[in-house]
Amino acid sequence: TKTISKCYVQVTGMTCASCVANIERNLRREDGIHSILVALMAGKAEVRYNPAIIHPSTIAELIRELGFGATVMENCNEGDGILELVVRGMTCASCVHKIESTLTKTNGVLYCSVALATNKAHIKYDPELVGPRDIIQMIKDLGFTTSLVKKDRSASHLDHKQEIRQWRRSFLVSLFFCIPVMGLMIYMMIMDSQLADAHTHHNMSAEEMEALHSSMFLERQLLPGLSVMNFLSFLLCVPVQMFGGWHFYIQAYKAVKHKTANMDVLIVLATSIAFVYSFVILLVAMAEKAKVNPVTFFDTPPMLFVFISLGRWLEHVAKGKTSEALARLISLQATEATIVTLGPDNILLSEEQVDVELVQRGDVVKVTPGGKFPVDGRVIEGHSMVDESLITGEAMPVTKKPGNTVIAGSINQNGSLLISATHVGADTTLSQIVKLVEEAQTSKAPIQKFADKLSGYFVPFIVAVSVVTLFAWIIIGFVDFEIVEKYFLGYNKSISAAEVVIRFAFQASITVLCIACPCSLGLA
């Protein structure tokens, strides 16, 4: 008995079906190679060889000589078929044992586990030796009814509609409240510059300046220490913080729970601190009935949330576009196949309709005119034109005659064909394309990985810097009070020096946090 081993070779540099044919044709001639199957999309060749004559590394070398890149894949269980079944009629543990022991004894079944509670069976098998139909038949022979676990073919997990809605809502809420805040800010800037002009031209005293400044409508105090400007900003900021930032808070909480710091943590940190600090300082000013309105940061949260939720919304819209294409691709897959049994001289003996998942490698599948090819295969009999535009983009139908390869999902046009299945299930070109697109969606762009990594260091760094700022100013203040006095304008003369220093130090450190957070915009 000749022992036959199987190995998988990763092949790079294949561009089309002729590359595949080239590799298959040349390797078949080699001594010791039993059979070879190349999957174009997966970039994978499955080779059955006689280990006494040839070695996998030699096989890879042969492929390299043809001008492709080739490496032998170490983990060989890639090609194992996996079958999920629902088994009905099991009553006790001995039923489970009966099924498991019968299947495990079968040549080609590598692993089998049956759960009585859920009526599910999970089976791993070698598609070369045994197929899903054989396994189902075995279980039926034991007296149980069995069926495939229905796969959700609708690609609902690729649907980004909900996220798109959620981020659009988040963006619109933030925008609605952000515009007035920006308006107020710009108005204040213009008024301030006019005041500065007046000050330079008319040499007013500081007291007159103050009088003029507080006579402006927005700086008028509703209550002592609470100006119209600050009150309006506060009112506009609350809904943004609550509704606009809701999703950020959830994400940030999850990140912190897992001891990581991502963009969301930064955004939440900065907006919350800006908001809480501004709110507290307003309360303090009102309690002290301050004459000068405190500096607040109510404009930070709405503007940050606007930019970032806009970014997230656009990102999900883009993702939704690719997902739509993917869902269309998935819908191209045929759901059923007609399997035929051939007698001598390719005479049809019988045919049956089965689920596409049950087609085994080597099965003969009949495809009628207008039908879809359920699996990748090679034509055995018949002539036809096939529309392969979905895979190749080629508008003209392609002629197929015995020996040509066909692609799952393409449409047979005028003749009836018999094909021999070469790639089934997850190995078909279509499944591979779907898998590639899914992987491309779930993997991050290198720059995005880099940004996430950076923000992992950036967040703790900024927090550290602001803490350092806090302590530095406290020390400076207690050593030399005049410096603080010089920079901390309009503080209330009636409060103690220590309090002034601490308040100023806090203001400085919060400023660091609030101003460093929009750098997360840079990162974003």
Give the residue from 371, 401, 433 where a domain finishes. Answer: 433
pLDDT of residue 483: 76
381 domain-assigned: yes
Give the residue from 148, 175, 192 where a domain finishes. Answer: 148
203 domain-assigned: yes
Q: What is the DSSP letter of 244?
A: I
Which of 105, 96, 86, 82 shows the shortest CA–CA distance to 145? 86
452 domain-assigned: yes
Amino acid at 457: Y
Residues 224, 316: one domain? yes
Rounded to an integer, the average pLDDT of 385-394 is: 86
Q: Which residue has the higher pLDDT, 462 or 26?
A: 26
Place of tokens 């990581």: 260
Residues 454, 428: one domain? no
Cα separation, 236 vs 36, in Å, equals: 68
Total domains in the chain come to 4
Give the three-state DSSP class for 152. coil
Residues 286, 381: one domain? no
Residues 485, 377: one domain? no
Concatenated DSSP letters of 192-207: HHHHHHHHHHH---HH
Residues 395, 482: one domain? no
Place of tokens 């495990």: 104
Residues 424, 506: one domain? no
Give the residue from 21, 46, 73 where a domain finishes. Answer: 73
522 domain-assigned: no
Contact 300, 514 (CB under 8 A): yes
pLDDT of residue 365: 93
Residues 371, 228: one domain? no
Report the percentage of the chain scoring pLDDT > 90. 12
Residues 313, 186: one domain? yes
β-bridge pairing 417-423 and 376-381: antiparallel
353 domain-assigned: yes
Q: Which domain holds residue 353?
A: 334-433
Question: Whole-model pTM?
Answer: 0.57
Triad 25, 417, 345: Cα angle to 5°: 80
Residues 348, 368: one domain? yes
172-225 pLDDT tens trace: 888 888 888 888 888 877 877 777 777 667 666 666 655 555 556 666 777 777
524 domain-assigned: no
Which of 292, 231, 297, 261 shows the shortest CA–CA distance to 512? 297
189 domain-assigned: yes
* Residue 10: CATH number of its domain: 3.30.70.100
133-172 pLDDT tens trace: 889 999 999 999 988 877 655 555 566 788 888 888 888 8
Phi–psi pair at 98, nearest 5 degrees: -60, -50
Triad 38, 40, 43: Cα angle to 5°: 80
For 34, residues 6+ apart whose C-beta sits below 8 A from its C-beta are 4, 48, 49, 50
pLDDT of residue 2: 64
Token pair of 89, please? 């009629």
440 domain-assigned: no
Residue 444: pLDDT over 70: no
Residue 366: pLDDT over 60: yes
Residues 424, 488: one domain? no
Concatenated DSSP letters of 272-334: HHHHHHHHHHHHHHHHHT-SSPPP--TTHHHHHHHHHHHHHHHHHHHHHHHHHHHHHHHHTS-
For 243, residues 6+ apart whose C-beta sits below 8 A from its C-beta are 170, 173
pLDDT of residue 140: 92
pLDDT of residue 308: 79
Rounded to an integer, the average pLDDT of 352-375 is: 90
Residues 354, 405: one domain? yes
Q: How far is CA 198 from the centre of its chain?
A: 56
* Residue 385: CATH number of its domain: 2.70.150.10
Residues 392, 344: one domain? yes
Rounded to an integer, the average pLDDT of 497-516 is: 76
For 523, residues 6+ apart whose C-beta sits below 8 A from its C-beta are 263, 451, 454, 455, 458
Residue 433 region, left (φ>0) first, then alpha (ψ -120 to 50), else beta? alpha
